[in-house]
Amino acid sequence: MGLEGIIKSHILGLEPYQPGKPVEELERELGIEGCIKLASNESAIGPSPKAMAAIREALEGVHRYPDGASFALRERLSSRLEVDPEQLVFGAGADEILELLAKVLLGPGDEAVFAWPSFAMYPVVVQGMGATSIRVPLTEDLTHDLPEISAAVTDRTRLIFVCNPNNPTGTSVGAEAFDRFVESLPKTVVLAIDEAYYEFVRRTDFPDSLKWVGRRPGTIALRTFSKIFGLAGLRIGFGIADLELAGYLQQARHPFNVNRLAEVAALAALEDVEHAERARSTNSEGADYLHSELGALGIETWPTDANFLLAKAGADTAGRLLREGIIVRALNGFGMPDHIRISIGLPEENERLVKTLRRLREGGL
Ligand SMILES: *Cc1c(COP(=O)(O)O)cnc(C)c1O
């Protein structure tokens, strides 16, 4: 069509986010059934039955626009988190909150600083506004290099993303290092603490992000219903910010960005404490199992506080697993061709992965 001349140059250069391959697509390609997906950090145990019941009940009302204020969910979450209801900003996934942050803070000439490898959406939302990504390499043990992130802040920096636990490594930073880091930041940058995996965290000294939201203007913690609550397909997440920042994000938000079904499902999922507990314990046992079994195969893994783990399984392992009907995440795009990211599955899925990796290692395939 020849639109290149009028499309924004930063959009022309965008590298689109590469989502994990859907199971149905792989089954079609291989002509087999029973493929498993351990690639997108989705809930291993599926959605809460209470959330599903709430969705069914709400179906009758889908001709109505959603409650643009997410009133019921806002009230429930604010009392649970002990924050002012107006500190909450809801989005179509935490992804939309990332995008809103970029929209209100970034333009050409501005910089956003984040660790790398980290969540692949950060450079997408930054470049989407024509701003510049400053990527700070992870340390040797693949954790955030917080002093280097702090040192990378300039007078052009508007936004810092800290992904804790970090995707795709699963590693996390503790309270002591984190608190020192926040104290080192100038007042004029917004700090976004991405806690998409918050509910899976096992370390006991995990930072208290909400303490900083309460203390430091321009701080936001991001959470989501996509991971432990098993609602990735409905698209709902939220940010908890100081009142001023929350206000700007609300101003930039579309009025009906969160759909009706997502709102009722999220509320019901929050009430289903037993289901979230089961997701957490299934994940915790799966993490221990995979660490020890992969270790026994001579595959290096990293400690994880999330629902996935990083494994140094050798070049093209993801491709070879794919041909065996198992989808994991290749990390070539991060310059880590020897590593894969494995979403922790149900026990039988984890066992199938281990068995297949063992066969691949023994050269049987
Ligand atoms: C999954 C994920 C998100 C957000 O997911 P949504 O489905 O958009 O809520 C945000 N950050 C990280 C690091 C994630 O892994």
Q: If you ran DSSP here, which 8-state letter would residue 7 be given?
A: S
> Model's pTM, two decimal places?
0.96
Q: Which numbered atom of ligand 1 lies nearest the CA of 225?
A: 9
Q: Which CATH architecture has domain 49-271?
A: 3-Layer(aba) Sandwich (3.40)
State pLDDT tens for residues 247-288.
999 999 999 999 999 999 999 999 999 999 999 999 999 999
Q: What is the pLDDT of residue 132?
A: 98
Q: How far is the CA of 17 from the centre of ligand 1 (A)?
A: 12
Q: Residue 340 to residues 143, 284, 343: CA-CA distances in angstroms?
A: 16, 19, 10
Q: Which numbered atom of ligand 1 lies nearest the CA of 224?
A: 9
Q: What is the pLDDT of residue 148?
A: 98
- Which residues of the chain fall below pLDDT 70? 1, 364-365
State pLDDT tens for residues 138-172.
999 999 999 999 999 999 999 999 999 999 999 99
Strand duo 36-37 + 326-327: pairing: parallel
Per DSSP, the residues of 131-152 read -EEEEEE--TTSS--HHHHHHT
Q: In this structure, are residues 271 and 50 in contact, taking their beta carbons and an 8 Å threshold?
A: yes
Q: What is the pLDDT of residue 105?
A: 98
Count of other CB atoms within 10 angstroms of residue 255: 10
**Among 90, 100, 224, residue to substitute to test ligand 1 (most atoms within 8 Å of Cβ):** 224
Q: How far is the CA of 94 from the centre of ligand 1 (A)?
A: 6
Total count of residues recorded for the chain: 365
Contacts with 189 (C-beta within 8 Å, 6 or more apart), sequence order: 153, 157, 158, 159, 160, 218
In angstroms, rounded to a whole number, what is the distance separating the alpha carbons of residues 109 and 62? 42
Return residue ranges of the chain for CATH 3.90.1150.10.
20-46+274-362
Count of other CB atoms within 10 angstroms of residue 330: 22
- Torsion sign (Cα): 318, 321, 322, 327: negative
Q: By alpha-carbon position, which residue is closest to atom 11 of ligand 1?
A: 196
Q: What is the pLDDT of residue 364?
A: 53
In angstroms, rounded to a whole number, what is the distance separating the alpha carbons of residues 115 and 278? 31
Return residue ranges of the chain for CATH 3.40.640.10.
49-271
Mean pLDDT of the chain: 96
> Could you say which of 3.90.550.10, 3.90.105.10, 3.90.1150.10, 3.40.190.10 is the CATH number of the domain covering 20-46+274-362?
3.90.1150.10
Q: What is the pLDDT of residue 363?
A: 75
